[in-house]
Amino acid sequence: MDYISTRDPQATPAAFSDILLGGLAPDGGLYLPAAYPRVDAADLARWRRVLAESGYAELAFEVLSLFVDDIPAEDLRAIVHRAYRTPVFSDPQIVPVSELEDGLHIGHLSMGPTAAFKDMAMQLLGELFEYELGRRGETLNILGATSGDTGSSAEYAMRGRTGIRVFMLTPAGRMTPFQQAQMFGLDDPNIFNIALDGVFDDCQDVVKAVSADAGFKAARRIGAVNSINWARLMAQVVYYVSCWIRVTEDDAERVSFAVPTGNFGDICAGHIAKSMGVPIDRLIVATNENDVLDEFFRTGDYRVRTAAETEATSSPSMDISRASNFERFVFDLLGRDADRTAELFGRRVREGGFSLADDPSFADAAGRFGFLSGRSTHADRVAVIADLHSRLGVLVDPHTADGIHVARGLRDRVATPIVCLETALPVKFADTIREATGADPEVPERFAGVMDAGRHVTDLPNDAEAVKAFIAESIDATEVR
């Protein structure tokens, strides 16, 4: 399996283990397989048997083996089984699926150690990083940005691991108290929390700016865990397969997915699964008030917003106005035209965005690739949470409520069962849950005391040079095992 950049597929193809540690391609593009592996009816039937007889971890091994050919099979199997096990995940199914109402299901992705769907990829990434660094005798300094859940998932996956430090940027004051407590409460010597004076997109821009400094990146061994890292999307493909299996009985039966998303990573994995031949019908993009993605899929206009235009909402993990993973989809949408992709994302996005409204390829977004979209407001998600709680005794977090609201609004355009992918457990968003139901969400036993921990965080200005200086000083002052 060779990997190429969205901006220069003619460059020397890279191996999986190399892009695992590298993050962005040297030209600023994102890595994708040179060609997506294809699965047929026999593969799908075998995967159904594997999930039923051997469980999620063995299914993950089957799927990931299609993308990873430079790690010995038995090593990869052991890595995957360490990542997807109890008690790391609280449910033995790892990703159970429940029916919410007729034709609408929830794929429960929040069984991991930080109660967020990001754990599904991060737990695997932690195992892969430690394995590959040990194999090479190297260390890695991970730089990431989070609008809510990525940071805690990454830190819990990497804490205490040999050869790894984590530097995580957060938008100051833009996460919920629980999300902040999960991250800032960690007092591990290899974890560094940075509160940046800005919004998530500013944090993401700083990560890209630091990663684009090839000299600094090489000298300081900078790697990535944000969804620009291909391995995260690869891991997420697995739960699309498992959810499809759990909702269907026939290998030809198709399923649609409604995905709350701001950075396009979660639903990009669905696009990849569909491109491989998994029987996926529609991929429904659900945004909040920061609706740059919904606007694109409705109009063809990709109009990025400034920090001042990015609203702080009650589904804060989606308060994003420049979706990093969107480049991967547009690369496919444009027939893998790297020159156009580089022009759009290397220049036009920096100038405010671009439009494909008059491009013939835009019709493929809904037609060939199956995308639909919608947006949700604070009132919408509060109404969904209140309705499900009072009518069904089901409690969902605000992001999942966004997905359910949009899925319900598009039911007349979707002829297949819809699985709404859960984002996180309600405990992370107590204020909104209290507004919707009149009561605080239940705190799972494994999170008791989270709010009482100390705070370990450094405040920095929105400046890539200041972040680089902090990283360099911290590396020089600490040793990793």
Q: Catalytic amino acids? A: 118
Distance CA 136, CA 407 (A): 46
Contact 361, 392 (CB under 8 A): no
Phi-psi region of 370 (alpha: psi -120 to 50; beta: other; left: phi over 0): left
Length of the chain: 481
Alpha helix positions (H), 344-459: 362-366, 378-392, 398-409, 430-437
Distance CA 232, CA 225 (A): 8
CB burial of 284-318 (b: ≥16 within 10 Å; e: otherwise) equals: bbbbbbbbbbbbbbbebebebbeeeebeebbbbbb
In this structure, what token pair is assigned to residue 243? Answer: 């959810």
Rounded to 5°, the CA angle 25-259-253 comes to: 105
Distance between start and end Cα atoms, the chain: 32
Tell the burial category of 213 from Cβ atoms under 10 Å away from its Cβ (0-12, 13-18, 19+).
Answer: middle
Contact 24, 208 (CB under 8 A): yes
Beta bridge partners of 222: 141
Q: Residue 107: which of 232, 289, 238 has the closest Cα? A: 238
List Cβ neighbours of 376 (8 Å cut-off, separation of 6 or more). 286, 287, 288, 315, 401, 402, 405, 406
| C-alpha dihedral, 272 to 276 to 282 to 286, nearest 10° | -10
List Cβ neighbours of 103 (8 Å cut-off, separation of 6 or more). 411, 417, 418
The single residue listed with the structure tokens 């705070």 is 455
